[in-house]
Amino acid sequence: MDFLHLQMTKKEMSDTVKHQIKTLLHDLLLQFSHLLAVNILGTICYLFTATFLDTVIFPTLDQVSREMEKQMDVINKVHQLKIKAVTNKEKSVCIDPLDDSPKMEMNMDAPHQSTVAKSMQFPPSPPISVEQQDS
C-alpha cells in the first residue's frame, strides 16, 4: 500500500507541477506578447518621432536660424556703421572743431600792459612842498 500511495502522490505532484508549469508558461507568453507589443509600439513611435523631427522640425529650425543670422548680420552692420560715424565725428571735432563762437576783433599788435609800464616814461611829478605856518 505504501507503494501505491507513493505512486499516487507522485502522479498528483507531477500533475500539479505540470499544471503550474503550463500556467507559468502561459503567463510568461502573455507577458512576452505584451512586452513584444509594447516594444514594437515604442519602436514605431520612436521612428515616427525621428522621421517627423528630421523632415519637419529640424529643417524649419534651420531656416529660422538662417533668417536670424541674416537679421543679426544686418543689425551688426548698422551698428558698426553708426559706431564708425560717431567715431569719425569725434575725430573731426577733435581735429577741426566747428567755430560757432561769435567773432571778436582783437588787436594782436597791442603791447601787454606789463611791458608797456616798463617802456613808458611818465613825466616827473612836481616836488612836494611843505608850507610853514606863521604865527
pLDDT score at 117: 56
Q: In this predicted structure, what is the pLDDT of residue 43? A: 95
Measured between alpha carbons, how far is 35 from 38 in angstroms, rounded to an integer?
5
pTM above 0.85, yes or no: no
Q: 12-27: per-residue pLDDT in tens? A: 888 888 889 999 999 8
Residues 107-121: tens digit of each pLDDT:
666 666 666 555 566
Give residue 3's pLDDT: 76
The ranges of the chain with pLDDT < 70 are: 1, 90-124, 129-135
- The answer for residues whose C-beta is within 8 angstroms of residue 119's C-beta and 6 or more apart is 111
User: How far is residue 37's CA from residue 40's CA, in Å, rounded to a whole number?
Assistant: 5
